[in-house]
Amino acid sequence: KGLRPAAELSAVVKANAYGLGVHRVGPALLEAGCQIFFVAYAFEGTALRQLIGPDAKICIFNGPDADNITDFYANRLTPVLNTAAQIDLWERSGGDTPAMLHVDTGMNRLGLSPDEATQLAAKDTGLTISHILSHFSCSDDPEAAENTTQLARFQEARETLHTVFPEVQHSISASGGLFLPHEIEENLTRPGLALYGICPQVSLESALKTVAQLEAPVLQVRELKPGDPVGYGSTYRANKHMQVATIALGYGDGYSRALSGKGEVMLANTACPILGIVSMDLITVDISNCSEEVKIGDMAECFGHTLNIEKVAANAGTIPYELLVTLGDRVKRVYTD
């Protein structure tokens, strides 16, 4: 909010609030004053409507289709219209109910092209459009030329559409956009990741306060002799006397198998490397360097306040977004109010 004080702050809570649990995150954000929410699917919007009551706006990024159009009216969901076909469907379904319009300014993913926006502006449309949206492709990199190009195209599209929708407001920044140094004029921002204390611009990773921590307990502690193997395929072999701990976390919990032999966890304030392959339910880590004794039941921090999620994601060859949304149902979410 402080980064873009003139704009209203909405909350993107798609994919179960980035894996963290929309049943708690949605109501908490509502209580904090959020009045506009975004999810990807109408069914996510329907579930959210039950959680946050009738007043806040719930907007659906992927827009309506013939199968779910009635859900929009039944649950007062606001569609984001992305294509000529969706515009047509919304108009025919009774369409002066407010919608948002997505204009693609260079990502070539979703939204009307600037030409289609011009065509729409030339038509006699019965639509009521509250906001024009667009989305940056490279806002995690402040130096990227795309940021400037997209802002210029967005400005043009707004001017074109302003003639048919004189009251329309506009929104382009997701989390990355909030941290861009560019002069960005908009009425509404749409962060998702940043709400959870993670900054998509790696150079600014400490700009926000971490809110999510993944912990898992030690199930067993053992000694290894030189030559002893660890885990499936014996891909790791001890080259000295070692102490190792087996931890109850694996790819069945969404902890990436790509962390095999690469990742680390924190135990007794010490970074403990993962030895061998990540299994479905377990990992084994090297605790030889821990200054304090590691005991059964101790909790390892797998990302969070000490071991930042950006680093764990980089080790897994992915981004923090994917680590969060792939956390499985077996991972118990504990909320500290």
Ligand X SMILES: *Cc1c(COP(=O)(O)O)cnc(C)c1O
232 is catalytic: yes
Residue nearest to ligand X (CB): 192
- 309-to-197, 208, 324 alpha-carbon distances in Å: 10, 12, 9
Shortest distance in whole angstroms from residue 321 CB to ligand X: 7
Kindly give, in sequence order, each residue whose CB lies less than 8 Å from that of residue 305, ignoring residues fewer than 6 positions away: 210, 213
Amino acid in the structure at residue 32: A
Provide φ and ψ at 70, rounded to 5°.
-70, -30
**Look-up of token digits 């071991």:** 307
Q: Which residues of 122-142 are buried (b: 16+ CB within 10 A; e: fewer)?
A: eeeeebebbbbbbbbbbbbbe
Cβ-based nearer residue to ligand X, 195 or 224? 195
Cβ-based nearer residue to ligand X, 18 or 255? 18
Instruction: Centre a 10 Å sphere on the Cβ of residue 192 and count the other Cβ atoms it contains.
Output: 22
User: Do 186 and 170 contact (CB within 8 A), yes or no?
Assistant: yes
Cβ-based nearer residue to ligand X, 29 or 283? 29
In the three-class reduction of DSSP (H, G, I as helix; E, B as strand; rest coil), residue 336 is classed as coil
Shortest distance in whole angstroms from residue 136 CB to ligand X: 9
Shortest distance in whole angstroms from residue 73 CB to ligand X: 23
- 87-to-41, 126, 146, 166, 172 alpha-carbon distances in Å: 17, 10, 27, 18, 20
Shortest distance in whole angstroms from residue 286 CB to ligand X: 34
User: Do 84 and 116 contact (CB within 8 A), yes or no?
Assistant: yes
Which of 1, 73, 123, 232 is the catalytic position? 232
Pairing of strands 214-224, 11-12: unpaired
Cβ-based nearer residue to ligand X, 125 or 201? 201
Point out which residues bind ligand X (CB under 6 A).
Answer: 12, 14, 61, 135, 174-176, 190-194, 200
Cβ-based nearer residue to ligand X, 166 or 181? 181
Which of 14, 196, 255, 321 is the catalytic position? 14
Shortest distance in whole angstroms from residue 134 CB to ligand X: 8
User: Do 276 and 230 contact (CB within 8 A), yes or no?
Assistant: yes
Q: What is the Cα gyration radius of the chain?
A: 24
For 65, the token pair is 């289709």
Cβ-based nearer residue to ligand X, 193 or 277? 193
Shortest distance in whole angstroms from residue 309 CB to ligand X: 13
Shortest distance in whole angstroms from residue 150 CB to ligand X: 13
- Residue 170's DSSP bridge partners are 132
Cβ-based nearer residue to ligand X, 37 or 236? 37
- 323-to-193, 213, 262, 263 alpha-carbon distances in Å: 12, 12, 15, 13
Q: Point out the residues that are catalytic.
A: 14, 232
